[in-house]
Each structure stands twice: as C-alpha cells, then as structure tokens.
Amino acid sequence: MKGIGALLKALTLEEKASLIIGAGNWTTAAVPRLGIPSLFLADGPHGVRRVVDEQGLGIPGLPATCFPTASCLASTWDTALVEELGRALGGEAKALRVDVLLGPGVNVRRTPLGGRNFEYFSEDPCLAGELAAAFIRGVQSRGVGTSLKHYAANNQEYERFTVDAVVDERALREIYLAAFETAVKKGAPRTVMAAYNRVNGVRACEHAALIDGVLRREWGFDGVVVSDWGAVKDRVVSLKAGLDLEMPGPRKDRRRAVVRAVKSGALPPRVLDRAVRRVLRLAAACAATSKGGATDWEAHHSLARRIAGEGFVLLKNEGVLPLGDPVRVAVIGRSAPEPYVQGGGSSRVAARRVDVPLDEIRARAGGAEVSFCEGYPAGPVIDQRLVDEAAELARRAEVALVFIALDEFVESESCDRTTTDLPANRVALIKAVCAAQPRTAVILGNGGVVTMEEWIDGAPAVLETWMAGEAGAGAIADALWGDVNPSGKLPETVPLRLADTPAFINYPGENGRVRYGEGLFVGYRYYDYRGAPVRFPFGHGLSYTTFEYGRLSFSETSFKDADGLTVSFEIANTGTRAGRETAQVYVRDVRASLARPVKELKAFVKTALEPGERKAISVHLDFRAFAFYHPGLGRWVAESGEFEILVGSSAADIRLRGAVRLRSTAGEPSLLAPGSSVRLWLDDERGGPLVRPLVEKIEAALSKEGGGGMLGFILESPLERLLRQWEEPLALNADETMADIMRRLHGKFSAPKQPRRPGGHGGGKGNNKEARKPGKRNLGKGIQEKK
C-alpha cells in the first residue's frame, strides 16, 4: 500500500464511501487500482469462527480450537495465561487468513440472567479490564487485530437491538466504561465495536459523546470504531459521531447517502476523510503480517486443557476431593458423555475435537470400576426411574461424580435466561445421589452462575467447571484426582436467590428502556453495601492446600495522590500440596463526599507456591485506585483523607488490612452555592469554617427560646434562605453576607464550568454509607452538584 496521505488524495468520493461500509458479511471493501486490500473479520472470543461462505452467516464455520469461554477464562485471574491464549488465537486467526478477530467482550455482568455472560469476564471492571487488555496484547502480537466489544452499556439480550440503557454518569464511568478504558489504554485494540442499544436515549453507534468524546479524546483511542452487525440506523449521523466502519455490507443505499451528504454540504469532507484514514491505517497494519501458515493444533488443545484446569473453581469440599484411588466410581449425568463446552450464537466454534468427561475419567481411573447412568433427560421433567437408578448406582460405589449442565442453547446470544435455578430434574438427581452416597462431588457446567439453595447443603463437594471448551474433560479428570490443584476464583458473586441480585427490580425494563437503578452497586459492591448474605462471594475459590497471608506494608503511610502507593505483603503455602493463590487487593474510602462502595477491587496477583514456600508480593496502586468520578466536576477525584487497604482471598475473606492517608494535590473548586443546604456547607472542608460561627449563633438563640428542636430544620435549609430569615435577629445584610461568604469560599478558585457529559444524568447520593447513618450530624464533606 502507498502512504495514507497519497491514498486519500487518489481515492474518489465514491471509493471513500465504499471503504467505510462493508463489502460483504465479513469483508471490507478493496480498491484494487490503488492496492488497498479487503480485510476479513471473524468471531470470536474463545475460538476463531472463520466462515466457509464469505457471504453467509456461517455458524459454526471452519474447524478451530474451542478454548474455554470467558467465564472460565476469567476464573483463572491470570493475565499471563490469558495473554498466552491470545497468542494462540492470533496464530489460528492468522493461519485461517483472518485480519480482525471480533473479541474480547468486556461488558460487565450486570445481571446473572444475561444470555451472553459466558462471553464476558466479570461483574467487576478491574478484573474484566485487565484480562481484556491481556487478551488483546496476545492476539495482536501475532499481527491480527482485535475488536473490543460491545461499547457500551450492552448488558442484556432482551430487546438488545433497541433497548435504551438509562444509566447515571457515575455508574457509566466507574462500572460500565471502566473495563473498556483499561483495555484501550493497556491493550490498544485495533478496533472497538459499537453496540446495538441506546445509551441514555442515543444509539451507541451515533453517540458522539461516547465515541468521539470519551473513547477518542479522553482515552486516546486512534483505531477504527466498527458497528455491531446491522447496528447502524443512519450512516451519515454515525459517521459524524465518529463511527468509521459499518458492518456488514454491501449497502449501496448507505454509500449513496454518504456521497449525497458530502456533495450537498451536509457532511464535511474532512469527517469522511477522518474515517477513511483510520480504515486505511487498519488495512496497512493488517497487511503488514502475511496470512496463512500452519497451526500446532495439539499444542493448542493442550493449552485449552491447561486453561480449563486453571479456571475451575472448587466451591465446596468436605474431604471428598481429591479422589485418591477409589475402586468403584459412579459417574452420573447426561453431560458426562455429552459435555456442555460452549454457548450459542456468533461465538460458537466448530471445535476440531471435543474430549468426553466419561472417557477421560475411565482413562484416569486406571483399574477402577467406572459405572454410568444418565440421571436426567433433556428439559426440566423429572424421570423418577433415572433418579432411582442413579441413587442405587451411587449407593454401590465408593464415590459418586454427578455431572450437571444446563440444556444446550439456554445460554446464548439473542436470549437471556429466565431463571438462575437448575432445572427440577437436575435438582432431584443431586438430592437423591447425595442422600445415597456421602462421598459425592457435583461437577457443574454452565456459562453464568446458577443458584444452589435447594441442594447445596447436602452436596459434600462442588466443582464449577463453566463452559470448559474442547479439552475441558481432561482438565476435569485432572482436578478430581488432584493432578491439578484447583486455583480458580469466582469472577461473579453466586447469590442465594435471583431476587437478591442488584438489577432484579429494574431488569429487563419496560417501554423500551431499562433503568440501571442500582447505580454503582453492581455485584459484590451491592451485597457489601447492604450487608446481604450470598452463597459464594466474589473471588471465592478453595484449594487442596492452604495459604497464609502476612507482613503487610506500604511504601508510605501518607502519600500524594499523583504518586500512588505500593502495597507489599507475603503469602505462604502452609499445606502439603503445591498450589496457586490469587491475592486480591481492595481499597476502601473511609470517608467520601459522594456515595462509594464499601470496597473495590483495584489489583490482583496470582502466584504459584510449593509446600512450605513463602513469597513476597508487591502491587502498585495509582491515582485511579483511590479516585471516583465526580459528575459535578466532570473528572476523576481522589479526596484527601484515610483509605483502608484490604488484602484477601476473596471479597469476603480479608486476611490483611491497613490504613493509609492520601493527600490530594488537586485544588478542587467547591461546588457549594447559596442554595446549598446548611448541612452541606458545614460538612465542606472550606465552607464549614465560613458558616459555622453564624450557625452557632442561631443555635444559641434558638436554645434560649426553647427551640432546640429546630436544629434539623436549620441544617436542611438553603444557606441564603436561612440568612434572610435571621437577617434582623443577627443584624446582618443577607445579600452582602452571602456574597462575602462566596468570595471567601472560592478564593483563587473560579466556579467550574459544566462539563460535557456522555448522556449521563450525573449526580451522587450524598456521602458515604457510614456517614449517612441516622443520628450522625457530621455527614462528610457533602458537595452539592450544580444544577
């Protein structure tokens, strides 16, 4: 290809319009006379789905490695392993002549009912963002582009093409955009895919504030923004918003519309050229790596097995696992011979081979007698004959292994689940087998979490294997016999019941809108804030060994926000088996001016330890680890004050904690106004000293008159109103006094301008949870957002 500038000059208007709209279902337009190649795009997140017919949907596509899905991958909490997966996927994409792999998916799991949760990493944006960045780095190291998706607030399949996600600005920034931001800044994907849905009334593909504002100007993204397939409504409007490439094509009507808009003056030529320039840069980057070549499929199959083993989560174990050397093993459940390895939809891979759990168990069991029965049919209907047969088989064995999976396509693109409960026939089977055999292990296969209250108390051991990919069966045998020590940790909270979950009241929405009424409080943030019990907390996962944490220290106990903080501690393996432990570092803002979660994950480290081995761990927490997004100021703010650093094995298992003090280096202008309540004035760091003497005089006067009960009325009154009411008793001029207070308040600071907002509603709920408890007068530094 020639230089980009030369190509732009040589292209005709019609050719430029063709380059920003797909040429087929999976290809971009080529301009042969100028040497501009067509690019091939292909799904997906856990395997390459390269279609045979370039103009067809092609599900599932050419054979490729089916790796574990994102739910299993996320449970590894291992960025190095995810990057290794990315390199393997990039290699397969290159061999299959794919230029851009459409992944990873980084949307937050807002509700456990999400049909595509198996494609997404986590309920937490820190974990999701770091893993996505690693995935991107791995794939793109092989010369193949990635497409970070689905931007943004695309958190359900119900009405996914049209639904309007109504989300406040803090939740949007801190939860739903944060993982994208990390992936963009640390992974540098070549493309970002804009979603189908609306965000606060604006189509994601036409959302200039999100695309041109946040993504490009704030985060510095310089790649191509591509539409989800068929998501563009108006090509000219989306082009102006910053969407460079519409897929799929061909859409002659769209090309003509762009040409007409340029000729009529409705679309500035520079806007079209901007998009064409980005598409040309992508084409040049992809063309720099020749496609084709061989793939070591056996090596990738082995990698898929290793990833699966690292992602399995041992939820419960009352001494049943590892198995040891049983003589009689009962294998029960239809998913033992028919494994549930992936979900439905565009991510579905044509696996080159799929290992079978029953076969792998027979191979690993050696000379043991391994018997099998189906246990349950497809669907929810209980077949009592199968249940009774399974119970009797379990009773005669030394150990029972119950394989439980959801029915195929229950978890899929285009449809959300309707429940988190297992089907009735699986529940009946688990109960019967566990009652018959005290040494029973339940092996779960699912993409999103399932609730377990009907049966968990009776199950001695539970191993969550997710959708484990084509080699998951061998990994299951490895974990059951202890050849691999389970080290996975939950990327999503397992609730007691669906009704306990944060989005339960607001999902799926009505009249085309879904309101994110839980705000920031998604996943463990919600359960922490409410003090609500859960079945298994975020980050939970057992091991066949034990770990001890100690020696917590900080680079400084008082530090500047710009410098950040280094947290150091030690982990020791105090058991008899080698194992891997993921240490999770959470930050708690002890006192904040706006509502904040009780704690938030800000770093994690997975480390391997031999028995008796001890390792020193250090992580650095930067400014953002302590900051929240302030809608009134339109930026991230880290307030001076005390923070608590929490290090644990899960969100509920905190092993170490220590306090540090942050010193803000940013001179934040006050958002107090004459109409702000007296309470907010008193709680403000600079406003309090200015009004406290006046308030104390009023309190004293009221006390003399027996009006002490009016204190609450005073605190909730706007300051300017209170001054007018007490103008005569205090012998002051209300207007002059208010003006003087405002001058002294701002000092060298000028009143802030209202920021441009990406469709959010802004605003916070006031102060943090602790400060807002009834009976406390000092409620923190409460800041009134300007209206």
Catalytic residues: 228
- Going through 600-752 in order, the beta strands assigned E by DSSP cover 600-609, 614-621, 628-630, 635-637, 641-650, 653-663
The Cβ of residue 772 has, within 10 Å, a number of other Cβ atoms equal to 14
Asked whether 182 and 130 are in contact (CB, 8 A), the reply is: yes
CA separation for the pair 282, 19 (Å, rounded)? 11
Beta strands in 595-640 (DSSP E): 600-609, 614-621, 628-630, 635-637
Q: How far apart are the first and last CA of the chain?
A: 53
* Beta-bridge mates of residue 441: 401, 461
Measured at the CA of 769, the angle between CA 627 and CA 122, to 5 degrees, comes to: 55
Q: Peptide bond before 44: cis, by omega within 30 degrees of 0? A: yes
Pairwise CA distance, residues 80 & 489, whole Å = 16
Given a contact cutoff of 8 angstroms between Cβ atoms, the answer to whether 634 and 754 are in contact is: yes
Structure tokens at 121: 């990493």
The answer for 739, left when phi > 0, alpha when psi is -120 to 50, beta otherwise, is: alpha
**Of 333, 290, 574, whose CA–CA distance to 441 is shortest?**
333
**Rounded Cα gap, residues 387 and 213, in angstroms:** 58
Distance CA 523, CA 200 (A): 22
156: its two tokens: 């359900």
Query: How far is Cα 134 from Cα 141, in angstroms, rounded to an integer?
Result: 11
Asked if residues 168 and 207 have their Cβ atoms less than 8 Å apart, the reply is no
**Which are the contacts of 706, defined by CB distance < 8 A and separation ≥ 6?**
none
Q: Cα 4 vs. chain centroid, distance in angstroms?
A: 36
CA-to-CA distance for 371 and 257, rounded, in angstroms?
A: 66
Rg of the chain (C-alpha set): 29
Q: Where are the alpha helices (DSSP H) in 518-673?
A: 524-530
Q: How many CB atoms lie within 10 A of CB 412?
A: 20
Buried b (16+ CB within 10 A) or exposed e, 648-677: bbbbbebbbeeebebebebebbbbbbbebb
